[in-house]
Chains A and B, each alone.
Chain A
Amino acid sequence: MNILRHVAALLVILGATFAAIPAQAQIADAELTTLVDALAPGSFKDRETAIGNLVATGDQRAVPVLETLLEGELYVDEATGKVVFTAASGGKGAISDPVTGADLSDLDEDGLEKVKVNNSLRRVLRTAIGQMTLLSDDSNTRLSAAQSVLRDADPAQLELLDSALAAETDGAIKRVMEQARAVIMLKSPDATIEDKAAAVPVVQAIGGRDALNTLTTALANAPDELKPAIQSAIDGLARDRAAWDVAQNVWFGISLGSVLLLAAIGLAITFGVMGVINMAHGEMVMLGAYTTFVVQEIIRQNAPGLFDWSLAIALPAAFLFTGLVGVAIERGIIRFLYGRPLETLLATWGLSLIIQQAVQRIFTANIREVGNPSWMSGSFELGGLAITWNRFYIVIFAALVFIALLLVLKYTAIGLHMRAVTQNRRMASAMGIRTPLVDAMTFGLGSGIAGLAGVALSQIGNVSPNLGQGYIIDSFMVVVFGGVGNLWGTFVGALTLGIANKFIEPYAGAVLGKIIILVLIILFIQRRPRGLFALKGRSIEA
Chain B
Amino acid sequence: MITQALFRALDKKAIWLVAILLLAAIAVPASNLLLPEGNPLRLPNYAVPLFGKYLTFAMLALALDLVWGYCGILSLGHGAFFAIGGYAMGMYLMRQIGTRGVYANPTLPDFMVFLNWKELPWYWYGMDNFWFAMLMVVFVPGLLAFVFGFLAFRSRVTGVYLSIITQAMTYALLLAFFRNDMGFGGNNGLTDFKDILGVPVQAASTRAALFAASAIALALAVLACSMIVNSKLGKVMVAVRDAESRTRFLGYRVEYVKLFAFTVSAIIAGIAGALYVPQVGIINPSEFEPANSIEVVIWTAVGGRGTIIGPIIGAILVNVGKSYFTGAFPEYWLFALGALFVVTTLFLPRGIVGLIGQYRAATTKREQHTPTPKQVEAGADPQPEPAE
Q: Which residues of A contact B (CB under 8 A)?
A: 271-277, 333, 336-347, 349-354, 356-358, 361, 422-426, 473, 476-477, 480, 484-485, 511-512, 514-515, 518-519, 521-523, 525-527, 529-530, 535, 539, 541-542
Contacts and interface: CB of A to CB of B under 8 A. Distances in A.
Contact of A526 (B154, B172, B245): B154
Contact of B342 (A338, A347, A477): A347
A515 B175 contact: yes
Interface residues of B, number: 49
Given A476-B168, A512-B179, A346 B341 contact: yes
B178 interface: yes
Interface string B334-373: 1101111110111001000000000000000000000000
B338 A525 contact: no
Contact of A361 (B148, B297, B331, B342): B331
B154 A339 contact: no
A82 to B, nearest CB: 65
Closest 7 CB pairs of A and B: A275-B386, A350-B341, A353-B338, A354-B338, A275-B387, A539-B388, A518-B172
A352 to B, nearest CB: 7
Nearest to A427: B388
A515 B165 CA distance: 13
A477 B168 contact: yes
A339 B163 contact: no
Nearest to A519: B172
A193 B257 CA distance: 80
A422 B387 contact: yes
A518 B168 CA distance: 6
B160 A277 contact: yes
Nearest to A510: B175
A542 B178 contact: no
B340 A271 contact: no
A539 to B, nearest CB: 4
22 contacts: A271-B160, A273-B387, A342-B163, A343-B349, A345-B74, A346-B345, A349-B294, A349-B341, A350-B339, A350-B345, A353-B335, A357-B334, A422-B387, A424-B388, A511-B179, A521-B168, A522-B148, A523-B151, A525-B152, A526-B152, A529-B161, A539-B387
Contacts of B340: 350
Given A347-B342, A353-B341, A518 B331 contact: no
B315 to A, nearest CB: 16
Contacts of A422: 387
A477 B171 CA distance: 11
A357 B388 contact: no
B157 interface: yes
Contacts of B113: none
A541 B254 CA distance: 14
B383 interface: yes
A346 B387 contact: no
Contacts of B341: 346-347, 349-351, 353
A473 B169 CA distance: 11
Interface of B: 74, 148, 151-152, 154-161, 163-165, 167-169, 171-172, 175-176, 178-179, 245, 290, 294, 297-298, 301, 331, 334-335, 337-342, 344-346, 349, 383-388
Contacts of A511: 175-176, 178-179
Given A337-B345, A350-B342, A525-B155, A356 B334 contact: yes
A316 B342 CA distance: 29
A476 B162 CA distance: 12
Contacts of B338: 350-354, 357
A64 to B, nearest CB: 53
Given A333-B342, A526-B154, A350 B337 contact: yes
Contacts of B151: 522-523, 526
A514 B173 CA distance: 11
Candidate in B156, B168, B171 with the most chain A CB atoms within 10 angstroms? B168
B161 A425 contact: no
Nearest to B155: A526
B171 A518 contact: yes
Given A473-B290, A476-B164, A542-B159, A485 B386 contact: no
A480 B344 CA distance: 27
Contacts of B387: 271-275, 422, 425, 484-485, 535, 539, 542
A275 B172 CA distance: 25
Given A473-B168, A514-B175, A529 B386 contact: no
A120 to B, nearest CB: 50
A526 B388 contact: no
Given A347-B345, A350-B339, A515 B172 contact: yes
Contacts of A337: 345-346
A340 B345 CA distance: 10
Contacts of A425: 385-388
Contacts of A519: 172
Contacts of B383: 339-340
Contacts of B301: 346
A277 B388 CA distance: 15
B74 A525 contact: no
B161 A522 contact: no
Contact of A426 (B163, B178, B179, B388): B388
B342 to A, nearest CB: 4
Nearest to A279: B294
A273 to B, nearest CB: 8
Contact of A353 (B158, B163, B334): B334
B386 A341 contact: yes
Contact of B163 (A275, A345, A541): A345
B261 to A, nearest CB: 16
Contacts of B298: 346, 350
A424 B387 CA distance: 8
